[in-house]
Amino acid sequence: MAPVAASLDDPLTRALAPPPNETAEERERRLLAEQEARKHSEQIDEEINQERLAAKKNP
């Protein structure tokens, strides 16, 4: 695991970090949006897995 200082220097980590002046309302909206995005991503992953299984059964 990378040291904390190194991860703070990572541009991707900085880009994904919440704004330092984020309000509670903004934080709540951001977290809900992240949750929805994660759910959508998991649905896509599940569809891909189902298609992969179907392709194995019916080559």
Which residues lie below 8 Å from residue 14, measured CB to CB, with a gap of 6+? 8
Alpha-carbon span 32 to 2, nearest angstrom: 28
Give the pLDDT score at 39: 98
Is residue 46 one of the residues assigned to a domain? yes
Q: What digits encode the pLDDT tens for the residues 1-41?
A: 455 555 668 898 888 889 999 999 999 999 999 999 999 99
Number of domains comprising the chain: 1
Question: Does position 46 have pLDDT exceeding 90, yes or no?
Answer: yes
Give the pLDDT score at 9: 81
Give the pLDDT score at 58: 82
Alpha-carbon span 31 to 25, nearest angstrom: 10
* Domain with 43 in it: 23-59
Is residue 38 one of the residues assigned to a domain? yes
Is residue 18 one of the residues assigned to a domain? no
Per-residue pLDDT, averaged over 32-53, amounts to: 98
